[in-house]
């Protein structure tokens, strides 16, 4: 960054907590420590509650070739993203012209060759954790720490997922020492939902089904359902984490409409590698959390996914 005058920052499509946390984390770090750098943050639509983070409201929704006065950026950060197909806000076009680029990620499906420098740790809890261990700890401000804490909280399921490791908790301890309002962040962005989200989540739970002898809980929602509850795909992103709370299940599966296709969200507890299943649908992610897309009807996709789960079980 000492060589850069202009920097762009991108995350993945349909940004989640770790995506917003890691992108705003590096954005705030640059703002605090590199005043000579002009930094632009690009993020697609994300939950309103994440705007608790400094810098989140600065995000631009779409990159065009006219940005940065039509010149290539000196440096582009690609955060929490394992493929060019998953880059949000039209960032793939920007990456093609960038002088240098850095990919900071933790997806096991990452090919490790997307950028000039690839800092990818599949065993890490989150991209936010990987980012923190590559920063100068003394230069991490409270605002940067807020961002990184939010990212870690969301990708660890508030520290209950298996991706939570010893280093994760050590990093969290460092962030707390920065004076972050950790209780407010976890409560307002992870444990609360809007009234509309509460209603639609209740509807999905009421209509979910069990498969494979109770080992799988699955559900889907139609475009008509989304219109009835007046919700967007962004507001459905956390439904999968409620479905997975059904006791005795190994896999949770949820499908919902996005851009004329169905988004597939998969979570597992102990046995099933859902990343392998997601790859069958052109997606990927982690061993215990992954996703993809399908043009099939939800019924047809669910039948196929249940077959793939059954093989692993």
Mean pLDDT calculated for residue range 188-210: 96
Report the pLDDT value the prediction gives residue 285, as an integer from 0 to 100: 87
- How confident is the model over 1-45, as pLDDT tens digits? 999 999 999 999 999 999 999 999 999 999 999 999 999 999 999
**Any idea what DSSP says for residue 190?**
T
**Averaged pLDDT for residues 303-312:** 98
- pLDDT 10s digits, 235-287: 998 899 999 999 999 999 999 999 999 999 999 999 999 999 999 999 988 89
Q: Which residue has the tokens 């949000």?
A: 88
- For 119-169, what is each residue's pLDDT tens digit? 999 999 999 999 999 999 999 999 999 999 999 999 999 999 989 999 999
Hey, which residues does 90 pair with through a beta bridge? none
Phi, psi (5° rounding) for residue 248? Answer: 80, 0
DSSP 3-state assignment of 23?
A: helix
Q: Give the pLDDT confidence score for residue 3 in this predicted structure.
A: 94
> Mean of the pLDDT values across residues 95-118?
96
- Measured in whole angstroms, the distance separating CA 170 from the mean position of its chain's CA atoms is 22
Percent of residues, the chain, with pLDDT higher than 90: 97
Which tens digit of pLDDT belongs to each residue from 64-100?
999 999 999 999 999 999 999 999 999 999 999 999 9
Contact yes or no for 86/12 (Cβ under 8 A): yes
Contact 6, 36 (CB under 8 A): no
Q: Is the pTM of this model over 0.75?
A: yes
Tally of CB atoms within 10 A around 213: 9
| Domain annotation for the chain: domains and CATH numbers | 6-189 (3.90.1640.10), 195-312 (3.10.310.30)
- Within 8 A by CB and 6+ apart from 312, the residues are 271, 272, 273, 276, 277
């Amino acid at each position: 960054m000492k060589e850069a005058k202009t920097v762009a920052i991108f995350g993945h499509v349909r940004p989640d907590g770790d995506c917003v946390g890691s992108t705003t984390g590096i954005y705030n770090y640059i703002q605090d420590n590199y005043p000579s750098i002009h930094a632009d943050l690009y993020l697609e639509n994300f939950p309103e509650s994440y705007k608790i983070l400094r810098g989140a409201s600065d995000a631009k929704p779409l990159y065009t070739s006219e940005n940065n006065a039509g010149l290539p950026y000196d440096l582009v950060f690609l955060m929490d993203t394992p493929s060019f197909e998953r880059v949000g806000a039209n960032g793939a076009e920007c990456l093609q012209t960038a002088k240098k680029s850095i990919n900071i990620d933790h997806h096991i499906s990452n090919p490790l060759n997307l950028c000039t420098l690839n800092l990818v740790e599949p065993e890490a809890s989150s991209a936010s954790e990987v980012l923190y261990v590559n920063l100068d700890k003394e230069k991490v401000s409270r605002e940067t720490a807020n961002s990184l804490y939010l990212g870690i909280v969301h990708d660890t399921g508030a520290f209950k997922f298996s991706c939570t490791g010893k280093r994760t908790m050590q990093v969290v301890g460092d962030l707390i020492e920065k004076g972050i309002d950790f209780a407010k962040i976890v409560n307002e962005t992870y444990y609360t939902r809007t009234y509309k989200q509460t209603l639609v989540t209740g509807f999905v739970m009421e209509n979910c089904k069990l498969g494979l002898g109770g080992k799988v809980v699955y559900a889907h929602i139609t475009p008509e359902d989304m219109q009835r509850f007046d919700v967007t795909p962004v507001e459905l992103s956390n439904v999968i984490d409620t479905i997975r709370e059904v006791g005795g299940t190994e896999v949770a599966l949820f499908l919902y409409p996005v851009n004329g296709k169905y988004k597939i969200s998969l979570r597992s507890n102990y046995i099933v590698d859902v990343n392998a299943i997601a790859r069958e649908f052109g997606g990927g992610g982690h061993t215990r959390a992954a996703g993809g897309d399908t043009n099939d009807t939800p019924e047809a996709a669910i039948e196929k996914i249940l077959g793939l789960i059954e093989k692993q079980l």
